[in-house]
Amino acid sequence: MDTFEDDPTLSQLLNAEQLSRLHQCLSKLCREPVMLTEAHPGNDATAVEFNLDTVGWLSGGQGPQEREAAADLVSFLMLFIGKYRLAANLHHDTTEASYAELQRQNEALRESEARYRELSNQLQQKVDEQVGVIRQTQQELYESARMRSVGQLAAGVAHEINNPIGFISSNLRVARDYVKDIQAMLPDSAENRELATDFHDLLNESIEGTSRIAAIVTDLKTFSSIDQADYTRCNIRALLASAIHLVQTEYDHRLRITEQLHDMPEISGHPSRLSQTFFNLLDNAAQALGNSETRDNSRILVKALAQNDRIQITIQDNGCGIPDSHRPRVFDAFYTTRPVGSGTGLGLTVAQDTVRAHGGQLQLHSREGAGTRVLLTLPIS
Amino acid sequence: MPDFSPDNNKLTLKVVFYGPALSGKTTNLMQLHTLLNPERKGELMVLETRDDRTLFFDMLPLGLKGISGFDLRLKLYTVPGQVQHDSTRKAVLSRADGVVFVADSQLNQQDNNAIAFGNLEENLDKVGLDIDTLPMVVQFNKRDLPRVAGERELQDRWADTPWAPLIMASALKGEGVIQTFRSLLDRLYTRVDEEFRLAETHGINRQEFVDRLGRSSKSEVPHGYL
């Protein structure tokens, strides 16, 4: 290993040209020519020392004294040449060491810069994601605030309508009885009979109208009271069975409903709202079958089973389906395609809100003309 | 690490005078050049200086011959003490066999002593040497000046280190310089003898090693006081 402090040789201190010039100068000073060589020349020679090392041998000259003097002079010169050599070597060593250190630091700096750049990119990505989440949340917040005010309005309206519709309905029934009484008192003529029958039909239609209004009011109340929290243990199988029974009653038992209800553990939930949800979905399915409800192949499938830690409920029909253009809006409140007066547009909205409130999911798949499948997932715990 | 070349039976040892700026490292070396009368002594090389401050280093070669042509060399180096010459200090310190730490006794220089000592420890570590096992003596220089730290206090403070006792010196007046050097030679011998069997193989025992390299040219310094 070469270091700055290694003892130099003659050829390292002086090159051939410098050595020959030194020979000339010394030979001019001496009476006989002298010669400086690295190796001992074999004849009479005097050692030339540098730093206690013999770096060369001086031969020639007229005698030992002259050689001694010349060797002294050369040693003296060597001191300065050696000094320069040492300083230059040290400078070279330290410069190389410093450069290597700088390169190392530069490398480390570059690595850390790359690391920070990557970190910065990751941060940017996270910020972008968070901005997206905030935007989404803002939108949802806005929507839910709007829905809440609509809900409050609906609840107020429902409450106000509930009382008058109650006494209207009750009065109409009494009036119907009175019509019977009046008919009995009137003379039995064809004209009177027709009048009484017509009056009776008018009142019946009105009673039906009030019960429809009452149903809408119930829907509105369910919709607006979605945040109620009186949860109990619910038997999904029983709730589904009673919802099926209800919808069959509504459609005079003309629906063909296939039930595949397996045993399921009870879950914590709001039974009346779940019932309402099941009823809404079954009613939608029945509506989708429409006039074809008596067709041989029109069917509603209701399937429910426990899988892993969730309950899966499928309600499927092979009715008219939902056109692509309507699908994005089916969960919007008050969106309905039914004739005015026959739907509030709250069925699916209530269903979805209810399922979400139970920590579950509602998925809807539909193809126009082929049918609709609604998949409900409710967590067991 | 000692540099032994079997070809010419030559062992070269390196001693470095380390310490804060202006603590008197070059003065130590100049005094050794003047006061020492070892078996062999080369020229003192004072490399470049600016305003009397060392830029590269100073070097004094000493030597002695053992039996059967054994050639022992001791090269004494100083380092530049100024903070900015750290890379030069590191280059000179590499492969050192012994260190003389020259501290400044003046009260206002004690922080600089501590910084320089920390720098020594750090640089030794960087060149692969261990301060706890490297032969080293600590000299407190400039005892001739007023307002210096008391000797008792200094000795007490360093008592539990491997470098006790400290050596008090006034390099400018030539006092304590040879004592410092001989103390180092003694510690150096232990280490070198372990590896190269100086006494067994080359007929150089401890007393001879210290005397023949650390002999004073003044008769009043007693021979072999160690």
pLDDT, tens only, A1-13: 457 777 888 888 8
- In angstroms, what CA-CA distances link B42 with A76, A269, A287? 12, 102, 117
CB B72 within 8 A of CB B210: no
How far apart CA A142 and CA A365 sit, in angstroms, is 27
Percent of chain B with pLDDT over 90: 71
Chain B partners within 8 Å of A91 (Cβ): 56
Q: Do A90 and B92 touch (CB under 8 A)?
A: yes
Q: Tell me the pLDDT tens digit for each residue of A6-39.
A: 788 888 889 999 999 999 999 999 999 999 999 8
Q: Establish if A124 belongs to a structural domain.
A: no
Residue range B70-123, pLDDT digits in tens:
899 999 999 998 888 888 899 999 999 999 999 999 999 999 999 999 999 999
Number of continuous H segments (helices) and E segments (strands) in chain A:
7, 10
Q: Mutate which of B10, B45, B50 to test chain A, going by most A C-beta atoms within 10 A?
A: B45
Contacts of B11 in chain A (CB under 8 A): none
Q: Is residue A156 part of a domain?
A: yes
How many CB pairs lie under 8 A apart between chains A and B?
46
Q: Which domain holds residue A176?
A: 133-213
How far is the CA of A132 from the CAs of A22, A125, A264, A290, A356, in angstroms?
85, 11, 39, 42, 22
Please check whether residue B9 lies inside any domain of the structure.
Answer: yes
* Partners of A37 in the β-ladder: A57
Same domain, A94 and A137: no
**Alpha-carbon separation of residue A286 from A335, B3, B189 (angstroms):** 18, 103, 108
DSSP letters spanning A16-81: HHHHHHHHHHHHHHSSS-EEEESS--SSSEEEEEETTEEEEEEEESSSHHHHHHHHHHHHHHHHHH
- Domain of B202 in residue numbering reads as 3-213
Q: How far apart are the C-alpha atoms of A192 and A340, rounded to whole Å?
A: 35
Average pLDDT of B1-26? 89
Backbone torsions φ then ψ of A154, nearest 5 degrees: -60, -45
Whether A329 has its CB under 8 Å from any CB of chain B: the answer is no
**A313/A75 Cα distance (integer angstroms):** 107
What single letter denotes the amino acid at residue B33?
A: H
Tell me which of B88, B95, B126 to substitute to probe the interface with A (most A C-beta atoms closer than 10 Å).
Answer: B88
Residues A199 and A233 in one domain: no
Task: State how far the alpha carbon of A323 is from the alpha carbons of A329, A331, A348, A364, in Å.
Answer: 11, 14, 16, 13
| Domain-located, residue A221 | no
> Is residue A60 in a domain?
yes
CATH code of the domain covering residue B171? 3.40.50.300
A114 in a structural domain = no
ipTM of the complex: 0.79
Inter-chain CB proximity B42 and A87 less than 8 Å: no
Which helix H or strand E contains B50, and what residues bound it? strand B49-50
Amino acid letter at A92? H
Strand A310-317 and strand A371-379: the pairing is antiparallel
Whether residue A199 sits in one domain with residue A239: no
- The reply to whether omega before B165 is within 30° of 0 (cis) is yes
Residue B222 lies inside a defined structural domain of this protein: no
pLDDT at site A230: 67
Contact A79 B43 (CB under 8 A): yes
Question: Average pLDDT for residues A236-248, to the nearest whole number?
Answer: 84
User: A316 and A237, same structural domain?
Assistant: yes
Does A91 contact B at CB distance below 8 Å?
A: yes
Nearest CA in chain B to A50: B42
Kindly state whether residue B21 falls inside one of the protein's structural domains.
yes
Looking at the domain assignment, is residue B219 inside a domain? Answer: no
Residues A244 and A371 both lie in one domain:
yes
Query: A241 and A373: one domain?
Result: yes
Is B83 contained in some domain? yes
Task: Name the least confident of A168-182, A218-232, A312-326, B136-150.
Answer: A218-232
Is residue A98 less than 8 Å (CB to CB) from chain B?
yes
Indicate if the pLDDT at residue A115 is higher than 90: yes
Q: Which residue of B has its CA nearest to A80?
A: B45
| Residue B51 CB contacts under 8 Å (≥ 6 apart), including other chains | none
- Chain A residue with minimal CA distance to B48? A87
* CA B126 to chain CA mean position, Å: 20
Task: For chain B, say whether A38 makes contact (Cβ under 8 Å).
Answer: no
Distance from CA of A71 to the nearest CA of B (A): 15
At residue B99, what are phi and psi to the nearest 5 degrees?
A: -135, 135
A3 and B CB contact within 8 Å: yes
**Interface contact A92, partner B, CB < 8 A:** no
Residues with Cβ within 8 Å of residue A264, at least 6 apart in sequence: A235, A236, A237, A304, A305, A306, A311
Q: Which residues of A touch B95 (CB under 8 A)?
A: 3
Residue A259 sits at φ, ψ, to 5 deg, of -105, 130
Residues A248 and A358 in one domain: yes
B78–chain A nearest CA distance, Å: 13
CB contact under 8 A, B61 and A52: yes
If asked whether residues A143 and A209 sit together in one domain, one would say yes
Q: Which residues neighbour B188 within 8 Å (Cβ) at sequence distance 6 or greater?
A: B13, B15, B97, B98, B135
pLDDT digits (tens, 9 = 90+) for A59-85: 988 989 999 999 999 999 998 898 888
Do the Cβ atoms of A90 and B90 come within 8 Å?
no
> In sequence order, which residues have a C-beta less than 8 Å from that of residue B78 and are 6 or more positions away?
B16, B17, B25, B26, B28, B29, B54, B57, B58, B59
Assess if residue A339 is contained within a domain. yes
Global pTM value? 0.60
Last residue of a domain, one of A180, A213, A246: A213
User: Cα–Cα–Cα angle for A354, A358, A363, nearest 5°?
Assistant: 65
Mark yes or no for CB contact A94/B88 under 8 Å. yes
- Cβ distance B47 to A51 less than 8 Å, yes or no, reads no
User: Do A160 and A43 belong to one domain?
Assistant: no
B91 contacts: CB under 8 Å, gap ≥ 6? A4, A90, A93, A94, A97
Residue B155 phi, psi dihedral angles, 5° rounding: -60, -40
- Residue appearing with tokens 């690595």: A111
For residue B176 the two structure tokens come to 């304590």
Mean pLDDT along residues B189-199: 91
Q: Cβ of A86 and B92 within 8 Å?
A: no
At residue A327 the predicted structure's pLDDT band, cuts being 50, 70 and 90, is confident
CA distance B161 to chain A (A): 31
CB contact under 8 A, A86 and B75: no
DSSP string computed for B196-223: H-HHHHH---HHHHHHHHH-BSSTTSPT
Residue B206 has pLDDT above 80, yes or no: yes
A290 within 8 A of A319, measured Cβ to Cβ: yes
The SS3 of residue B129 is: coil
- In a domain, residue A1? The reply is no
Token representation of residue B201:
């193989």
Could you tell me if residue A92 is inside a domain? yes
Question: What total of structural domains would you count in chain A?
Answer: 3
B223 domain-assigned: no
State the pLDDT at residue A293: 47
| pLDDT of A344 | 65
What is the 8-class DSSP label of residue B132? Answer: T
Q: Is A89 an 8 Å CB contact of chain B?
A: no
Whether A162 and A270 share a structural domain: no
Same domain membership, residue A234 and residue A201: no
pLDDT, averaged across chain A: 85
Q: Which of residues 249-308 of A touch B (CB under 8 A)?
A: none
CB B170 within 8 A of CB B142: yes
- Sequence-ordered list of residues with C-beta below 8 angstroms from that of B43, at least 6 positions apart, any chain: A51, A79, B61
Provide, as residue numbers in chain A, all residues whose Cβ is less than 8 Å from the Cβ of B48: 87
Under the banding of pLDDT at 50, 70 and 90, the label for residue A224 is low
Does a structural domain hold residue B48?
yes
Number of domains in chain B: 1
Cα distance between residue A2 and residue B192, in whole Å:
22
Q: Is the pLDDT of residue B168 over 80?
A: yes
User: Do A58 and A179 share a domain, yes or no?
Assistant: no
Identify the closest residue of chain B to A86 by CA–CA distance.
Answer: B47
Higher pLDDT, A270 or B171: B171
Is B224 among the domain residues? no
Per-residue pLDDT tens digits for A289-309: 876 545 667 889 999 998 888
Q: What percent of chain A has pLDDT over 70?
A: 91
User: How far is A223 from A272, CA to CA, in rounded Å?
Assistant: 12
Is residue A304 helix, strand or coil? strand
